[in-house]
C-alpha cells in the first residue's frame, strides 16, 4: 500500500482526478425515448388502479390486495425510473437549466398521478384491526412482497388527514418544500472558493475542494482553505438563511396538522423508532463527549499546539500528504470487500466496470457523496466528488456499502427494498470498517499506522459525535423557530457554535467564520432529523463488525441475509438476523465502547510513532 500511494505523485493526472469515471444513465429509461413515455405508462396504470381499487382497499382479501399491489408496483417502478433519471442528471450538473427543468417536470407529473392514489393508504388505514390482522396473518406467500409494508403503513393512522387535505398538501409540495430544496441545491452547487496561494496567485475551485483541503497537514494551507470557505459561504448567507427559516416553519405547520408531538417525531416514525429510544441514543452519545474531547486534546499535542482551531479538526496527522489515484483506491476497496465476501466483491466490481459511478469533482455537481438505489428492476448508482485524498478511499468504500446493500435488497421489490434510515448506514459503515482494517494490516511504518488509526477514529467521531451534535443543533433551531418566529442569522449561528463547542470540547477554538458553516449542510434542508441515523447506523455497524470478529466466516451468510432482507422486517427483526438486540438498553454503550477502543489504539500509536 505504501509504495502504491507513494507512486501516486507521478501517476497519470486523469487517474488522480478519476476523470472519465462517469455513470451511464440512459439505461434507466429502459428503452423509452424519454421520461414522459414512462410517466404516460404510469398514468395509464393509475387509471386502472383508481377504477379497480377506490372504495375497496379496506375490504379486499389477501388475493385481491396482492394483485392490486403488484400492478401498483409497476407504476412505482415507472415513476421511479423517470424520477431517478431526472434527479441523477441534475445531481451531475445542477448548473444546466435543462436538468433543473426536467426535475420539476417529472415532479409535477408524478405528483398529479400520486395524488390520485392517496386513497390507497388512507383506505388501508381505515380498515378494521380485525380485518387487517386476518389479512396479514395469512400464511399465503403471495403477500410476502408487501406484508411488512402493509403492517408498517398502519403506524401512520393517527397522522393522516382526509383525502382532500392530503391532495392539497401533495400538490402544493411541488411549489413548497420541494422547490425550496431545489433552490438550496442550486445555491450550494454554484458556490465556489478562491484560494490564495503562497506566491500571491489565486485559484478557483468548488466548495467541496476547499473543505477537502482542511485535511492538509500544513496549517497554512488549512488556514487559507478556511478563509476561502468562509468567503465562499458569505455571499448567499441571507438567502440560505431565508430558505432554512421557511422550511423550519413549513415543517412546524406540517407537524401541527399531522399531530406530531415533537419536531423529530415524524422522522422517528419513518425510522420505525420510538421517540424514547432515539432520545436514549442521543443521551448515550452526549454522555460520552469525553471521547472527542480526549481526541482533540491529543490531536493538539500531535500537531504541536496548545489548542487547535476548528479548521484543524480534520487535519491529517500523516507526516506526508499523498494523493491516491483512482486505480489504486478501487484496487484497495475491491480487495477489502473480497477479504470478507467474494459475492460482495463481485458486486463492487460491477459498479466499477459497468459505469454505475460518477466520480470526478467538478463545478456544478452536487456536493458530497451518495448512493441512489433507483428501482428494483435496475441497479443503484453512486455519486462521489473525488479529490484523491485518503479519506476519499473511505468514502468510496462507504458508498459502495450502500450500493451492495441496495443491489442485494432489490429482490424485496419496491415496497420493501429500502430500510429505515436507522439501518441504512449499516452496510456502508461495515464496508468502510472492513477496508480500514485491511489497510491497517498492510502498514508497518508507525507514522502510517497512526495516520490510518487517526483517520478511522475521526470517521467514527464524525459519524457518531458530530452527527449527534448536529442533531442537538437541529433540536435547538427547530425549537427556537417554533417559539420565537423567524430566526436571524446571528441567532442560528449562535446555536450552531454552542452545540459544536459542547461536542468539540475545550481544546478546540470556534472561529467567527465557522459559525456560518451550518448553511451548506443539505440534510438540514432535505431530511430534517436525518443526522442521528448516522450515529445509530455507525454504532450498530461497529457492533455487527464485532460479531464478525467473534464468529468469523460463519457470520458472512447471516450478514448477507440481513442485506438481502432490505426493509422487509422491522429494525429489531433485521438486527436479530446478526444476533444484535436493539431492545437492550446497553446496546449503545457497547458500540461507544468500541469507539473508545479506537481512541486508545490511536493514543498508543501516537506514542509508538514518537508524536507525543
Query: Please, are residues 517 and 191 in contact by the beta-carbon 8 Å criterion?
Result: no
Q: Quote the DSSP letter at residue 465.
A: I
Which is more confident, 513 or 1?
513
Res. 156: pLDDT tops 80 = yes
Res. 464: pLDDT tops 60 = yes
Across 147-161, 375-389, 496-510, 580-594, least confident range: 580-594
Arithmetic mean of pLDDT, 472-494: 98
Q: How far apart are CA 274 and CA 58, in angstroms?
A: 27
The pLDDT tens digits of the residues spanning 206-222 come to 888 888 889 888 999 99
pLDDT band at 444 (very low <50, low <70, confident <90, very high): confident
Look over the chain and give the mean of its residue pLDDT values, rounded to a whole number. Answer: 92
Please report the DSSP string for 117-157 in residue order.
THHHHHHHHHS-HHHHHHHHT---GGGTTTHHHHHHHGGGG
Arithmetic mean of pLDDT, 265-290: 90
pLDDT score at 195: 84
Query: Please, are residues 237 and 516 in contact by the beta-carbon 8 Å criterion?
Result: yes
Arithmetic mean of pLDDT, 134-144: 90
Q: How far apart are CA 606 and CA 447, in angstroms?
A: 8
Query: Please, are residues 391 and 339 in contact by the beta-carbon 8 Å criterion?
Result: no
Q: 413-429 burial, b for 16+ CB within 10 Å, e for fewer? A: bbbbbbbbbbbbbbbbb
Contacts 24+ apart (CB under 8 A), 598-605: 598/453, 598/456, 598/457, 598/460, 599/291, 599/294, 599/295, 599/457, 601/453, 601/457, 602/295, 602/298, 602/450, 602/453, 602/454, 602/457, 603/294, 603/298, 605/446, 605/449, 605/450, 605/453, 605/454
What percent of the chain stands above pLDDT 90? 73
Which is more confident, 3 or 82?
82
Arithmetic mean of pLDDT, 24-50: 98
pLDDT score at 363: 87
Res. 7: pLDDT tops 70 = no
Query: Please, are residues 582 and 544 in contact by the beta-carbon 8 Å criterion?
Result: no
Q: How far apart are CA 214 and CA 163, in angstroms?
A: 50
Q: How far apart are CA 247 and CA 236, in angstroms?
A: 17
pLDDT band at 31 (very low <50, low <70, confident <90, very high): very high
Q: In terms of Cα–Cα distance, which of 412, 372, 455, 428 is closest to 544? A: 428
Burial class for 554, CB neighbours closer than 10 Å (0-12, 13-18, 19+): exposed
CB-hemisphere CA count at 13 Å for 157? 12
Query: Please, are residues 456 and 441 in contact by the beta-carbon 8 Å criterion?
Result: no
Arithmetic mean of pLDDT, 446-460: 88
Query: Please, are residues 519 and 244 in contact by the beta-carbon 8 Å criterion?
Result: yes
Q: In terms of Cα–Cα distance, which of 62, 98, 137, 24 is closest to 374? A: 24
Q: State phi, psi for 315 to the nearest 5 degrees.
A: -60, 135
Query: Please, are residues 295 and 281 in contact by the beta-carbon 8 Å criterion?
Result: no
pLDDT score at 278: 87
The pLDDT tens digits of the residues spanning 181-239 come to 999 998 988 888 998 877 788 888 888 888 888 988 899 999 999 999 999 999 999 99
Question: Which structural domains are found in the chain, ordered by start?
Answer: 32-175 (1.20.140.70)
pLDDT score at 9: 46
What percent of the chain stands above pLDDT 70? 98
Q: What is the 3-state secondary structure (H, E, C) of 516-527?
A: HHHHHCCHHHHC
Res. 2: pLDDT tops 70 = no
The pLDDT tens digits of the residues spanning 501-541 come to 999 999 999 999 999 999 999 999 999 998 998 898 888 88
- Give the containing element (helix H, strand E) for 602: helix 587-608
The residues near 471 (Cβ < 8 Å, ≥ 6 apart) are 282, 529, 531, 532, 535
pLDDT score at 6: 41
Phi-psi region of 467 (alpha: psi -120 to 50; beta: other; left: phi over 0): alpha
Q: How far apart are CA 362 and CA 94, in angstroms?
A: 11
CB-hemisphere CA count at 13 Å for 273? 27
Please calculate the CA angle 259-260-262 and round it to the nearest 5 degrees. Answer: 140
Arithmetic mean of pLDDT, 498-503: 98
pLDDT score at 10: 54
pLDDT score at 320: 65
Res. 322: pLDDT tops 80 = no
The residues near 494 (Cβ < 8 Å, ≥ 6 apart) are 515
Amino acid at each position: 500500500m505504501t509504495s502504491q500511494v507513494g507512486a501516486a505523485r507521478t501517476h497519470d493526472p486523469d487517474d488522480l482526478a478519476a476523470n472519465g469515471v462517469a455513470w451511464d444513465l440512459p439505461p434507466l429509461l429502459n428503452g423509452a425515448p424519454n421520461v414522459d413515455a414512462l410517466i404516460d405508462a404510469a398514468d395509464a396504470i393509475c387509471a386502472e388502479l383508481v377504477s379497480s381499487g377506490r372504495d375497496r382497499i379496506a375490504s379486499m382479501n389477501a388475493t385481491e390486495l396482492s394483485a392490486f399491489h403488484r400492478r401498483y408496483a409497476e407504476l412505482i417502478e415507472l415513476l421511479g425510473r423517470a424520477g431517478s433519471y431526472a434527479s441523477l442528471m441534475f445531481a451531475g450538473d445542477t448548473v444546466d437549466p435543462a436538468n433543473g427543468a426536467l426535475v420539476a417536470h417529472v415532479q409535477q407529473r408524478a405528483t398529479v398521478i400520486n395524488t390520485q392514489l392517496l386513497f390507497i393508504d388512507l383506505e388501508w388505514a381505515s380498515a378494521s384491526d380485525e380485518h387487517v390482522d386476518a389479512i396479514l396473518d395469512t400464511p399465503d406467500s403471495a403477500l410476502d412482497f408487501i406484508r411488512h409494508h402493509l403492517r408498517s403503513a398502519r403506524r401512520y393512522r393517527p397522522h393522516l388527514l382526509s383525502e382532500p387535505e392530503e391532495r392539497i398538501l401533495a400538490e402544493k409540495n411541488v411549489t413548497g418544500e420541494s422547490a425550496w430544496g431545489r433552490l438550496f441545491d442550486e445555491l450550494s452547487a454554484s458556490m465556489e472558493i478562491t484560494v490564495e496561494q503562497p506566491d500571491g496567485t489565486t485559484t478557483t475551485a468548488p466548495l467541496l475542494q476547499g473543505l477537502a483541503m482542511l485535511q492538509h497537514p500544513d496549517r497554512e494551507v488549512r488556514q487559507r482553505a478556511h478563509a476561502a470557505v468562509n468567503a465562499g459561504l458569505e455571499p448567499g448567507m441571507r438567502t440560505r438563511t431565508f430558505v432554512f427559516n421557511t422550511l423550519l416553519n413549513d415543517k412546524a405547520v406540517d407537524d401541527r396538522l399531522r399531530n406530531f408531538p415533537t419536531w423529530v417525531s415524524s422522522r422517528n416514525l419513518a425510522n420505525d423508532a420510538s421517540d424514547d429510544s432515539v432520545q436514549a441514543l442521543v443521551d448515550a452519545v452526549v454522555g460520552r463527549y469525553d471521547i472527542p474531547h480526549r481526541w482533540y486534546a491529543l490531536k493538539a499535542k500531535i500537531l504541536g499546539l496548545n489548542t487547535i482551531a476548528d479548521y484543524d479538526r480534520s487535519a491529517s496527522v500523516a507526516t506526508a500528504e499523498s494523493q491516491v489515484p483512482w486505480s489504486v483506491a478501487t484496487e484497495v476497496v475491491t480487495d477489502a470487500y473480497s477479504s470478507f465476501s467474494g459475492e460482495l466483491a463481485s458486486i463492487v466490481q460491477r459498479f466499477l466496470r459497468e459505469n454505475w459511478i460518477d466520480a470526478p469533482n467538478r463545478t456544478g455537481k452536487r456536493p458530497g457523496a451518495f448512493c441512489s438505489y433507483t428501482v428494483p428492476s435496475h441497479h443503484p448508482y453512486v455519486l462521489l466528488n473525488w479529490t484523491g485524498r485518503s479519506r476519499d478511499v473511505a468514502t468510496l468504500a462507504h458508498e459502495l456499502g450502500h450500493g451492495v446493500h441496495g443491489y442485494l435488497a432489490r429482490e424485496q421489490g419496491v415496497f420493501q427494498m429500502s430500510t429505515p434510515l436507522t439501518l441504512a448506514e449499516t452496510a456502508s459503515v461495515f464496508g468502510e470498517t472492513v477496508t480500514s482494517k485491511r489497510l491497517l494490516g498492510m502498514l508497518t511504518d508507525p507514522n502510517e499506522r497512526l495516520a490510518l488509526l487517526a483517520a478511522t477514529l475521526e470517521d467514527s467521531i464524525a459519524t457518531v459525535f458530530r452527527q449527534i451534535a448536529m442533531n442537538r443543533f437541529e433540536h435547538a433551531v427547530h425549537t427556537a423557530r417554533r417559539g420565537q418566529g423567524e430566526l436571524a442569522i446571528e441567532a442560528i449561528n449562535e446555536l450552531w457554535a454552542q452545540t459544536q463547542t459542547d461536542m468539540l470540547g475545550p481544546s478546540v477554538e470556534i472561529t467567527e467564520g465557522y459559525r456560518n458553516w451550518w448553511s451548506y449542510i443539505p440534510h438540514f434542508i432535505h431530511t430534517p432529523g436525518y443526522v442521528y441515523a448516522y450515529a445509530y447506523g455507525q454504532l450498530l455497524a461497529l457492533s455487527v463488525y464485532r460479531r464478525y470478529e467473534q464468529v468469523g466466516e460463519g457470520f458472512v451468510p447471516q450478514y448477507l441475509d440481513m442485506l438481502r432482507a432490505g426493509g422487509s422486517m422491522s429494525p429489531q427483526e433485521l438486527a436479530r438476523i446478526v444476533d444484535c438486540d436493539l431492545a437492550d438498553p446497553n446496546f449503545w454503550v457497547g458500540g461507544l465502547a468500541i469507539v473508545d477502543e479506537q481512541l486508545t489504539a490511536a493514543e498508543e500509536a501516537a506514542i509508538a510513532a514518537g508524536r507525543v
